[in-house]
Amino acid sequence: MSTAFKPDETFRDSFTFRNSEAAIRRFPMPFPEDNYMYSVNIEPHTAGPPGSVTEFPIDIDEHYVAECNERALVLAAEPLRFQALPHMMSAQWDCLELIMESLARDYPQHFALARAGNRWHWINRPLGINRHFTFGEASSLDRQPLDFITRQAQGDWVVMDQREGDLWTEAGMVTTQADWSLDFDVGMTFKEWHGPVPIAHELGVFDRALKFLLNLRLGAPVRRLNWTMTVHPRLDTSPENYPFWGPDRAAVTALNAGDLVNLRVELQGLWRLPRSNAVVFSIRCYLISLRELVTVAKWGRRVHRVLKNLHPELVDYKGLARYRDAVVEWLAPYDDGVPTTPGTAPE
Amino acid sequence: MTEAATIEVEVTAIDQVTPLIKHFRLAPVDGGTLPAFSGGSHIIVVMHGAARAHRNPYSVLSPPNRLDAYEIGVRRMEESRGGSHFMHDSVRVGSRLQIAHPVNLFGLDKIARKHVLIAGGIGITPFLAMLEDLYGGPVPYELHYSVRSPEHAAFLGRLRRREGGRVHLYCDSEQQAINFEALLGNQPLGTHVYVCGPGGMISRVAAVAKDCGWPDSHIHWEQFSAPPVGDAFEVFLARSRISVHVPPDQSLLESIEAAGVEVPYLCRGGVCGFCQTRVLEVDGELLHNDHFLSEAERASGKTIMPCVSRARCRSLLLDL
Amino acid sequence: MLVTGIKSKPVYAPLRYDAGGRYHVMLGQEVGEAPLLRVLGDMSGSPEALARTRVLYVPLRAAAAGAAPAAAFGGAGVADVRIFGTTAALLEAFRDLLGRALMGTRLYVAGPESFIGLAMKIALEFNLNKDEIRAEECGTRARRVYCIHCRTTTENVRTNIVTCGGCTRSLLVRDHYSRRLAAYMGVMADAEVPGELPPIREVFA
């Protein structure tokens, strides 16, 4: 896929973010049917169709440069969005290797990685980075390895150490989150971190997910989709900045919902890491305004139905309470009651 | 674990390091590097013998930062079902084998304040790689290595050169034995103990550690035991609709694999739970040899670990 | 957003003697005295265990420190009892003690949740995990609240909404708990519509 980057796109203030038609067509729709409830919807992270968001293990799209710029802005104001406990250094290097290898292999027009033993040479053309460093030697990079590389990747990254039969959230770069705080959660176990998610615990979702992830194998990553909604294409919907984006929720009406409200989908990838035996969790965020979304007829019908019938606890947990009805009203004309086909692909 | 996920390797060196232990060097056939791994990992080595395939786990003992080849150590087992004999007698320099990606079920605890490593015989192998991960780091560690006699202490020279006084050797032949009570009764808070060796040694360490008040989460063990042998029996796979004969010297898992049906597995030693299979019906009794199922699960008769467990039965129906 | 019923909220249980441990370290604050005496009572038939038990205790400020609790613990057969005038002093002594402690140690903590949280933070430094620690909550349920916006911790919070001691926002006190910070999360309560607050109630008495 030839990517024309849009470096001046913004995810704050003027919100100039827009999806091209190609970006709309490849959008990872999270609803395979007209109703939604939690499940352990994990599947092998294998190559999807060419041009799709899962064609490559780590996806780069037209928003790449703009998202990296946005991340830099968040970090400049709040350095604690990146944290790594001291014992996570080998995991940081594992992540750096994973991301550099993937990007160089899958997007050779943009990235290059040359290695002579531990002497590595990394080129990132879109961001203008050309860097020699020694793999494994922290002093050869001006930032911690995970910090350095995730500033050059879209989406959030969380690294969990595996010990005592559990997974511990102990390093991460989190600037595009849907309302959770790395600073608060660092040090938590898998289930503690997911503590604030309603219902799923009672369904046994996290027990099964944890058991599965504890046996995650090298060379066999998995993925799943998660979703919520955001007012304006704002990536940084952190609890830290809730005072700034919270008021947006009260600004949605049945008239403006199409432009203000975005479906926000997380493509989550999970890899076992080689040297640290840790698990890295990538949370890649895709946004699409309702107006863009309804250009695909099937999606207009389906999203209307999903939101209309959504379990009240999920409405609350996903922060939709104040504007769900306005959204449903805006979407109603796009739902003619025609049955939809199962699966997420546009018809 | 599926057959597709294996790496082709070639044996590039073989050394007889003790009368019973051979050391093998495995390099990728296509050049390049092997996957990085963490100390304590093992690989499943797939050996295609004349009569059957063997899939045995071996710890990777080479330094985790040297990826041009993996090194493993194989002890010739007296009562072998063939795997170790195959490695000792049939594998030559130039032989080709398949290996799976490293799996670590015996990793170092990253926030431990001290590591105590206890090895018996061939159990030294995972520690060689783990020591590389520990060397030069801020966390204190020591190795206690028990062997039948000095000539059976594999890799001792290499260990002593690198670790010096951090290695303590005990030879049965010289009436030296590890004093587990003294060792485990005097460790600072936050110490973890790791033991790899014969089953009896592991049981003893676990018992003494518990007696000294250690919680289970600080006691780590790895055991490479061959699946127990037993009477032959028949099993029927409900979904595959085939009947499988399980001979005395082949495990249930191996027999199912030989019949062409894949079962997910990781450790092949009854520890990780990955191959847990639903029992639909059994006319007889299940013989559980694993370390994973609870008492209740074993008693239920509804589940089994085919890698190490067997049955004494007229019929057994599995959900495979 | 989920406020209550969050799975990261710590769960406490009545203290019971753990005979699997070889050494026993007991910490108590204020009304935590009673649970500790109960555990010591359970141990009365094990003089060897009592000989390897240490008690560190800080009484209510208002009460006369020293004589009464020391006597009570002594009466329970523990030789090593230390009474402290302040919680800070107790915690410092506790850290020092753990630095010299051996594997096989069990920790028992009794008192208000905030005290337990601070003790756990120190225990974490020494890789003590849930199998080695028992905690019984008693006394005030007042919380330590970490403002996620300005990162200030406000002590002694009894109400569901509290004014942040740092940025003065009205914070909703959630059940989401961090062991590392030994505090519950406070998040701005009226971000969406300024001034729109739920009724303020004393919930953590």
Whole-number Cα distances in Å, C8 to A175, A212, A228, C135: 22, 21, 22, 16
Cβ-proximal residues to C73 (8 Å cutoff; 6+ apart), any chain: C36, C37, C40, C55, C57, C81
What CA–CA distance (Å, rounded) separates C77 from B18? 57
The residue of C151, C172, C178 whose CB has the most chain A CBs within 10 angstroms, and thus the best one to mutate to test that interface, is: C178
Residues C54-111: pLDDT tens digits?
A: 999 999 875 555 567 778 888 888 889 999 999 999 999 999 999 999 999 999 999 9
What CA–CA distance (Å, rounded) separates B257 from C124? 46
SS3 A258: helix
Residue closest to B199 by CA, chosen among B220, B229, B224: B224
Q: Nearest-CA distance from C9 to chain A in Å? A: 8
A25 assigned to active site: no
Q: Nearest-CA distance from A188 to chain B in Å? A: 14
Residue closest to B71 by CA, chosen among B80, B86, B58: B58
Residues A53-96: pLDDT tens digits?
A: 999 999 999 999 999 999 999 999 999 999 999 999 999 999 99
Q: Nearest-CA distance from A212 to chain B in Å? A: 9
- Domains of chain C as residue ranges with CATH: 23-137 (3.40.50.80), 143-188 (no CATH)
- Domains of chain B as residue ranges with CATH: 7-103 (2.40.30.10), 114-222 (3.40.50.80), 233-318 (3.10.20.30)
ipTM of the complex: 0.91
Name which of A6-15, A95-104, B222-231, C4-13 the model is least confident about. Answer: B222-231
**Model pTM score:** 0.92
Sign of the CA dihedral B58, B60, B61, B67? positive
Chains that touch A (3 or more CB pairs under 8 A): B, C
The whole-number average pLDDT for the span B61-69 is 94
N-term to C-term CA, chain B: 15
Task: For residue B189, give the nearest of C20, C102, C131 by CB distance.
Answer: C102
Please tell me if residue B82 touches chain A, with a CB cutoff of 8 Å: no
- What part of B 109-128 touches C (C-beta under 8 Å)? 109, 111-113
What CA–CA distance (Å, rounded) separates C178 from C117? 9
Task: For residue A196, give the nearest of C6, C179, C194 by CB distance.
Answer: C6
Q: Nearest-CA distance from C19 to chain A in Å? A: 22
Q: Maximum CA pair distance of chain B?
A: 59
Instruction: Show residues of chain A in contact with C181, CB under 8 Å.
Output: 184
What CA–CA distance (Å, rounded) separates A149 from A58? 13
Interface contact flag, A165 B5, Cβ < 8 Å:
no
Interface contact flag, C129 A185, Cβ < 8 Å:
no
Residues A12-52: pLDDT tens digits?
A: 999 999 999 999 999 999 999 999 987 768 889 999 999 99
Residues A300-312: pLDDT tens digits?
A: 999 999 999 999 9
The single residue of A25, A115, A224, A322 carrying the catalytic annotation is A224
Strand order in the sheet with C183-188: C153-157, C143-147, C183-188, C170-178, C161-163
The residue of B38, B44, B65, B268 whose CB has the most chain A CBs within 10 angstroms, and thus the best one to mutate to test that interface, is: B38
Strands (E), C65-147: 80-83, 105-111, 133-137, 143-147
Instruction: Show residues of chain B in contact with A164, CB under 8 Å.
Output: 109, 217
Q: Where are the domains positioned within chain A? A: 21-334
Residues A145-186: pLDDT tens digits?
A: 999 999 999 999 999 999 999 999 999 999 999 889 999 999
Instruction: Show residues of chain C in contact with B217, CB under 8 Å.
Output: 129, 131
- Chain B, chain C: beta-carbon pairs less than 8 Å apart: 49
Residue C102: what residue type? L
Interface contact flag, B113 C126, Cβ < 8 Å:
yes
Residues B135-146: pLDDT tens digits?
A: 999 999 999 999
Please tell me if residue A161 touches chain C, with a CB cutoff of 8 Å: no
- B56 within 8 A of B45, measured Cβ to Cβ: yes
Task: For residue A219, give the nearest of B5, B217, B274 by CB distance.
Answer: B5
- What part of B 267-306 touches A (C-beta under 8 Å)? 272-274
What CA–CA distance (Å, rounded) separates B229 from A161? 37
Please tell me if residue C6 touches chain A, with a CB cutoff of 8 Å: yes
